[in-house]
Chains A and B, each alone.
Chain A
Amino acid sequence: DGGITQSPKYLFRKEGQNVTLSCEQNLNHDAMYWYRQDPGQGLRLIYYSQIVNDFQKGDIAEGYSVSREKKESFPLTVTSAQKNPTAFYLCASSQPGEYQPQHFGDGTRLSIL
């Protein structure tokens, strides 16, 4: 079945460490997105990519980095510069076109040890 796979489901990080969250899709979607979700809040856009080798900052990009070397993959690195990284991270993708909905993975929960 086609879908979006995020791994790992749970991730723990020590202070000062960088950590990379994986996102893979086999839906042949051009666009991919990373969101952060905090308890009781909506989703906030971190980065998005509309095509391979190109990406744009979202609303809260500071302390994060991404790459888009392949169409199916959009990994997110949470750097040590991100002061409050504990959150639920969601990856999404969408087909080309103005009215296409986004499809989401099951998320990665990141916690600081």
Chain B
Amino acid sequence: GDSVTQMEGPVTLSEEAFLTINCTYTATGYPSLFWYVQYPGEGLQLLLKATKADDKGSNKGFEATYRKETTSFHLEKGSVQVSDSAVYFCALSEGETSGSRLTFGEGTQLTVNP
């Protein structure tokens, strides 16, 4: 079945450091890929997405590129801020009509210190 593997956390960085959170996937078809962010005590918010190979999703300074050859969708940000501290989830959707099941990675806790 489908699966998503994220780099183990937690990750602790200083403000303005470069961030990479690795994500690789296993899927039988051509999935859509997503990054979600969860702030303490809240639900998940969509951060960015990519729906086909070589697509780059971007939002709020975060980027991720859909790499079919390496089955990866790594999240990057050039300069993190304290407000980026949260849990980040990589997810994939194989696609079904009228809504799609998501398969999530385990999440990576990011803490950014001033």
Chain A residues engaging chain B, CB cutoff 8 angstroms: 4, 6, 29-33, 40-43, 45, 48, 50-51, 58, 90, 92, 94-107
Size band of the B side of the interface? Answer: 20 to 34
Contact A30 B32 (CB under 8 A): no
Answer whether A99 and B99 are a contact pair too, CB < 8 Å, given A41-B107, A90-B44, A106-B43. Answer: no
- B residues lining the A interface (CB < 8 Å): 4, 32, 34, 36, 41-46, 49, 51, 89, 93, 95-102, 104-107
Let me know if A99 and B95 touch, CB within 8 A.
yes
CA–CA, A43 and B106, complex, Å: 7
A-B contact count (CB 8 A): 81
Bound-state CA distance A42–B42 (Å) is 14
Given contacts A106-B43, A107-B42, contact A98 B96 (CB under 8 A): yes
Q: Give the distance in Å from the alpha carbon of A94 to the alpha carbon of B91 in the complex.
A: 15
Q: Which of B4, B42, B45, B106 is close to A41, meaning CB atoms less than 8 Å apart?
A: B106
Complex: A98 Cα to B107 Cα, angstroms: 23
Chain B residue at minimum C-beta to C-beta distance from A43: B104
Chain A to chain B contacts (Cβ below 8 Å), 11 pairs: A33-B99, A33-B101, A42-B105, A43-B102, A50-B98, A99-B32, A99-B93, A100-B99, A104-B45, A105-B43, A107-B43
Shortest CB distance B5–A (Å): 10
Given A43-B89, A99-B95, 19 further pairs, Cβ under 8 A: A6-B43, A30-B99, A31-B100, A41-B107, A42-B4, A42-B106, A42-B107, A50-B98, A50-B99, A58-B101, A90-B44, A92-B44, A98-B95, A99-B49, A102-B44, A104-B43, A106-B41, A106-B43, A107-B43
